[in-house]
Chains A and B, each alone.
Chain A
Amino acid sequence: MALKKILLDEHETVCQEGETVLEALLRDNVDIPFSCKQGACQSCMVRSLDVPPPAHAQKGLKDVLCKQNHFLACLCYPEQSMSITLGHQPEYFTEGAVIAKELLNPETVLLTIQCKDALDYYAGQFVNLKRADGLIRSYSIANSRRHAEKLTFHIRRLAGGKFSEWVHQELNVGDTISVSDPQGLCYYLPDKMEQSLLLIGTGSGLAPLAGIIHEALEHGHTGEIHLYHGSREVDGLYWIDEMRELAETYENFHYTPCVSRGDALEGVAQGRANDVAMANIPDLKGWRVYLCGHPDMVNQAKRMAYLNGASLQDIYSDAFHVASPTLD
C-alpha cells in the first residue's frame, strides 16, 4: 500500500497504517494542539490544502468548515497523501476573567468567568478553556443563556491532571483565561415543549445538565423533566439542596441523586445513575435523553436508552473524555 505523507509547512510526516494524522504528527514531535483525541473537543482541527479529507474526519464540524476542507486530525486515517495547515485556525478565543471560585464538594470547583464578549451558545454546549501557555481543555457551560457574558463551570480535580489541578490550586479570582467559541451538539432547543426529558449525569456531568434544566424551565417547558445525578459516594454529589428546591418549585421537574458504592443516605438512590433511571423509566419511546459525564456511563446509557425505545436523534450526549482513561 502506498505511504501516506502529511506535508505541514515543508515538514513531511509519514502516517503509518492504522495511525491517525494526530498520532503521526505527535510521534514526529510536531507541536499541534489537542485534548480529547476522540473527535469531541475540536482543538486538533486542521485544514487540508489539496485533497478533500475523508468524511469520517469531519464528524460534527459545521457545514462551512467541511466545505473548506477542515477536519479533525485525531479522527483522520488518511486515504491519500495530503498537505495540511495548522494556521488560520477558525477557533476564536475571547478573553475571560475569573470573578468567582468556590468549592461545590471536595473535588469540584465552581468557576465563574466574565467574558469580554457575550458568547452565543445553547445551554449544554461546552467551550475550550486555554491557559496562557496554550494548554487547552474542554468544559461544559453550567448556566442557561440568561447570563451570556458570565459563564459558570464545574471543574472536577483529577489527581495528576494538568489543567484541573491548576484550576483548583493556582487559578485565582482576577486571573484571565481564554474562552473559545461554544461547541458541541448536546444542547437544549425550546421546540417540542411537551416532550419528556431524561437527563443523566455523573460527577461534573451535572454542569451541562443544570444549564439545560434551567433553560428548559425558563422557557416554560411543559413535559416532565427527570434528572438523575450519580457518583460513587455522596461526597461526589453536589447541589443536592438546590436541585431539591427546584423540584419543589416546579411540578414537572424531578430529581434523583444516586450513589453506586457505599451507603445511600435518606432520599438518595442506591445504584448507578443510568441503572436507577432506566429501572424507574423503562419505556423511553418519544423521550429526549441527555447524557453527560463518564464515557463508560454515556456509552452504556446511550445503548440502554435506545433499546428502551428512544430514537437515536433524540439522544444527546457529551462524554467527558480525558486524554488518559483514569477518570472514574
Chain B
Amino acid sequence: MSEATPNQSLFEQIGGEAAVNAAVDIFYRKVLADYRINRFFDNVDMEQQAAKQKAFLTMAFGGPNNYTGTDMRNAHARLVKMGLDDSHFDAVMEHLGGTLKELNVSDNLIAQVAAIAESTRNDVLGR
C-alpha cells in the first residue's frame, strides 16, 4: 500500500476504492465462512450483500459515505431482533482486522479503521 503522507486521508492512505474492492472479497468470504455469524446473512441476496459489504468497508476505511447513526440502526434492526449482540460485533471486528492484515495494511492504519468501526457499535446493536 502507498506511503503515508501527512495530508492524505485515512481512506487514501489505505488505497481508496481499489483497496475496498480487494478487501470485499476476502472479508465477505471470512464472514460467510464463520459459523458464529453467518446465519445473519442467510436470507440476503449475495450480490446485493456484496454491494453492502462494500458500503461497510468504505465507511470503516473513512471513505465517502452518507450513512448516519439512524441508518446504521435501521439497517441492523432486523438482525438485532434475530439476536445480534456484542459477540457477533466482535467477530466482525476480528474479520475486519484479519482482512487488512492479509492486505499488508500497517498496524497503525488498522487501528484507525477499527476505531471507526467501533464507534458504530451502539447504533449497530440498537442501544
A residues in contact (CB < 8 Å) with B = 56, 59, 302-303, 306-307, 311-312
| B47 beta carbon closer than 8 Å to chain A | yes
* Inter-subunit contact A306/B29 (CB<8 Å): yes
Chain A residues within 8 Å of B47, by CB: 312
Chain A residues within 8 Å of B48, by CB: 56, 59
| Chain B contacts with A in 18-37, Cβ cutoff 8 A | 25, 29, 32-33
Rounded to whole angstroms, the CA-CA distance of A59 and B47 in the bound complex is 10
* Inter-subunit contact A311/B25 (CB<8 Å): yes
* Inter-subunit contact A312/B29 (CB<8 Å): no
Select one of A56, A59, A307 contacting B32, CB under 8 A: A307
Per-residue CB contact flags for chain B residues 41-79 toward chain A (1 = under 8 Å, else 0) read 000001110100000000000000000000000000000
Select one of A56, A59, A303 contacting B46, CB under 8 A: A303
Q: Could you list 16 examples of A-B contacts with CB < 8 Å?
A: A56-B48, A59-B48, A302-B46, A303-B32, A303-B46, A306-B29, A306-B32, A306-B46, A307-B29, A307-B32, A307-B33, A311-B25, A312-B25, A312-B46, A312-B47, A312-B50
Rounded to whole angstroms, the CA-CA distance of A307 and B46 in the bound complex is 12
B residues in contact (CB < 8 Å) with A = 25, 29, 32-33, 46-48, 50
Rounded to whole angstroms, the CA-CA distance of A302 and B29 in the bound complex is 12
Please, which residue of chain A has its CB at the minimum distance from the CB of B43?
A299
Interface of B is mostly: helix
Rounded to whole angstroms, the CA-CA distance of A302 and B33 in the bound complex is 13
Rounded to whole angstroms, the CA-CA distance of A303 and B49 in the bound complex is 12
Please, which residue of chain A has its CB at the minimum distance from the CB of B25?
A311
CB of A121 to closest CB in B, whole Å: 22
Please, which residue of chain A has its CB at the minimum distance from the CB of B50?
A312
Please provide the 10 A-B residue pairs with the shortest distance between their CB atoms, ordered closest to farther. Answer: A307-B33, A302-B46, A312-B50, A307-B32, A303-B32, A307-B29, A312-B47, A312-B46, A303-B46, A306-B46
CB of A74 to closest CB in B, whole Å: 14
A307-B29, A312-B25, A312-B46 known; 9 other A-B pairs, CB under 8 Å?
A56-B48, A59-B48, A302-B46, A306-B29, A306-B32, A307-B32, A307-B33, A312-B47, A312-B50
Interface of A is mostly: helix
Chain B residues within 8 Å of A56, by CB: 48
Rounded to whole angstroms, the CA-CA distance of A306 and B25 in the bound complex is 10
Rounded to whole angstroms, the CA-CA distance of A311 and B47 in the bound complex is 11
Q: Which of A56, A59, A302, A306 has the most CB of B within 10 A?
A: A306
Chain B residues within 8 Å of A59, by CB: 48
Rounded to whole angstroms, the CA-CA distance of A303 and B29 in the bound complex is 9
Rounded to whole angstroms, the CA-CA distance of A302 and B47 in the bound complex is 10
CB of A65 to closest CB in B, whole Å: 19
Rounded to whole angstroms, the CA-CA distance of A265 and B29 in the bound complex is 37
Rounded to whole angstroms, the CA-CA distance of A211 and B37 in the bound complex is 38
Rounded to whole angstroms, the CA-CA distance of A302 and B45 in the bound complex is 10
CB of A37 to closest CB in B, whole Å: 14
Please, which residue of chain B has its CB at the minimum distance from the CB of A39?
B45
Chain A residues within 8 Å of B32, by CB: 303, 306-307
Rounded to whole angstroms, the CA-CA distance of A186 and B48 in the bound complex is 17
Rounded to whole angstroms, the CA-CA distance of A306 and B32 in the bound complex is 9
Rounded to whole angstroms, the CA-CA distance of A302 and B49 in the bound complex is 13
Chain A residues within 8 Å of B33, by CB: 307
Chain B residues within 8 Å of A311, by CB: 25
Chain A residues within 8 Å of B50, by CB: 312
Q: Which of B29, B32, B47, B48 has the most CB of A within 10 A?
A: B47
CB of B29 to closest CB in A, whole Å: 6
CB of A243 to closest CB in B, whole Å: 29
Chain B residues within 8 Å of A312, by CB: 25, 46-47, 50
CB of A116 to closest CB in B, whole Å: 35
Rounded to whole angstroms, the CA-CA distance of A312 and B47 in the bound complex is 7
Rounded to whole angstroms, the CA-CA distance of A28 and B50 in the bound complex is 35
Chain B residues within 8 Å of A306, by CB: 29, 32, 46
Chain B residues within 8 Å of A303, by CB: 32, 46
CB of A59 to closest CB in B, whole Å: 8
